[in-house]
Structure 1
């Protein structure tokens, strides 16, 4: 139940709920301002199977909303940001109302899991399955991933609630702290396994973080650039943005080898041509990213041999393969 602050009854009294203050008439009719603790939404659970109508939250328009949990210990409150851009915190968009829950997919990697917001039109727990997860401007779901929960001081309450409900283990949190340490992490660009979507700008390189036994950071340019002016400079022929994922190659020629492709799963900003060329086909939703093979002079899906090199990119991508269930 959400706590409320009441003004005591007096012969002459004024009660204002704005900004957590109450105003009462003191001696000789003087107004006395008293600050009361700010009220926060109390959420009883992060487990969809246990939701109550009172767990419904509305974060619309809020920059750093605070959510409390039914614990008497100090600090049982979590501040939940939406997104930062150019050092500015963006508020949650309109219609950001629903149920906060912990999501862990069936094929999740060992340290994969996140807090998401399932947007629903009403506060009935039965509406959860018919709702959808809140999205970021990139098209990915808004989420607070497990390494953030494990390491960020402002998420202590979320961490404690997940442990209390046995949704995560102390071993998982400890491993996250060991891997991440004092480093930074961007949820949108952090991958745990193949098939996870990530945002992609077609006019630039990819900076990704992968989490396995250790954390890897690397930049991947080769899928999107082309050589110009007799191989003297690099350019990006396409503008626009979308979502993509890596997947194991199904080509029989790659049998027994660890080879991956990139599939464009969704177009967010329309694709347009920047450079007149013919070596990188226009990215299309649902299709593998396809380039001209300079040796065979035929178009083939872009591929990356994970064991051909031993650089930061190969090491990072191998972590995704090792965390995935490859049939």
Structure 2
């Protein structure tokens, strides 16, 4: 049986020989014929036979999807369907599907990625680039999705029995967390300094934090908004529209000395969705320093003062910081696995 697997959201859609998407629109055979039977997902073991060239995806589907079919010997036959975004003149994509275990990360943070290469020769893999989603972060399918969905059976076979890159115990643990969603794939995090996408008008963006033996899914309320306490206009207020790429980092501010406090660094803005005044904003005048700026810490308005957004992970939970304790996973991972941004307790 064939399945269309949308890249990034983890859902699966069983289909008849003419594969259907979630709306029932059929994907005809020619789009699925450029498949490859994969014998490994380990970059060190790739052969030219593991190379995949995408077929054009019907416009009814997402811009980038994969189809997986189990062949008789248990290995996966994989097709890539690609429909470039409007205005993108790029052609077919070609490269290798592979399993990525990030450095400074727990085993649960493993994921599938697609590496675009210049040739079918595996020697071109190191110089290739991973396919990215619109927000500029790598496309991925997380291990918990691979572990929990029946249509990933041949992918699991490669990871646990052929490549032995994922122990069965880790796969079993990942399966326990299969139902945990995370909104956008870019907000599945395991380390300080890891970039994520943040819309400036999102009331409670959802995150997934991967720890050594646990997963947490907090929704951090009013990260970019604030309340005024005015009964007429109770809020929350969001003074800016657009979206930004950020990362969490341990606070080095003197006021947080000796405590485990996480702050958010603005890494960059996005050309297709720039920071701009929110036309629906009806709050008080916007004070200087509230607008997100590249390279600076994210701020918010609290009791009419501009303050750095901060989460004390060990503070007694309140209605405002009830979800902040989940950020303790990032501090724990920094001690357990090291930290890419040089944090040390």
TM-score class, shorter: 0.7 to 0.9
Check 1:306–1:185 CA distance in 2 against 1; reply closer, same or farther (3 A cut).
Answer: closer
Aligned residues of 1:263 and 1:287 also touching (Cα < 8 A): yes
Aligned partner of 1:59 in structure 2 is 54
Write the distance in 1 (CA, Å) between the matches of 2:49 and 2:78.
17
Unaligned runs of 5+ in 2: 1-16, 19-31, 84-89
Aligned residues of 2:206 and 2:218 also touching (Cα < 8 A): yes
Write the distance in 2 (CA, Å) between the matches of 1:118 and 1:136.
13
Provide TM-score, normalisation by structure 1. 0.74
Q: Give the drift of 1:78.
A: 5.6
Check 1:301–1:103 CA distance in 2 against 1; reply closer, same or farther (3 A cut).
Answer: same
Aligned residues of 1:78 and 1:156 also touching (Cα < 8 A): no
Aligned partner of 1:309 in structure 2 is 316
Aligned residues of 1:119 and 1:131 also touching (Cα < 8 A): yes
Give 1 or 2 for the bigger CA radius of gyration: 1
Aligned partner of 1:199 in structure 2 is 197
Q: Give the drift of 1:195.
A: 2.6
**Per-residue deviation, residues 65-118 of structure 1 (Å, max 9, x unmatched):** 33568x7534644677889xxxxxxxxx84432111111122112311111011
Q: Secondary structure at the match of 2:154?
A: helix
1:153 to 150, 154, 157: 150
Structure 1 residue 73 corresponds to structure 2 residue 83: no
**Per-residue deviation, residues 3-28 of structure 1 (Å, max 9, x unmatched):** xxxxxxxxxxxxxxxx99xxxxxxxx
Check 1:305–1:127 CA distance in 2 against 1; reply closer, same or farther (3 A cut).
Answer: same
Write the distance in 1 (CA, Å) between the matches of 2:299 and 2:34.
54
Aligned residues of 2:97 and 2:113 also touching (Cα < 8 A): yes
Provide TM-score, normalisation by structure 2. 0.70
Q: Give the superposed CA RMSD.
A: 3.1
Aligned partner of 1:272 in structure 2 is 276
Q: Give the drift of 1:271.
A: 0.7
* Total equivalences in the alignment: 280
**Per-residue deviation, residues 122-160 of structure 1 (Å, max 9, x unmatched):** 223232222211111232211011111111111111111
Aligned partner of 1:261 in structure 2 is 263
Q: Secondary structure at the match of 2:265?
A: strand
Q: Secondary structure at the match of 1:285?
A: coil
Aligned residues of 2:55 and 2:80 also touching (Cα < 8 A): no
Write the distance in 2 (CA, Å) between the matches of 1:312 and 1:209.
15
Check 1:173–1:122 CA distance in 2 against 1; reply closer, same or farther (3 A cut).
Answer: same
Structure 1 residue 318 corresponds to structure 2 residue 325: no
Aligned residues of 1:60 and 1:94 also touching (Cα < 8 A): no
| Paired residues for 1:103-182 under 5 Å | 103-163=100-160, 164-180=162-178, 182=179
Aligned partner of 1:47 in structure 2 is 42
Structure 1 residue 282 corresponds to structure 2 residue 291: yes
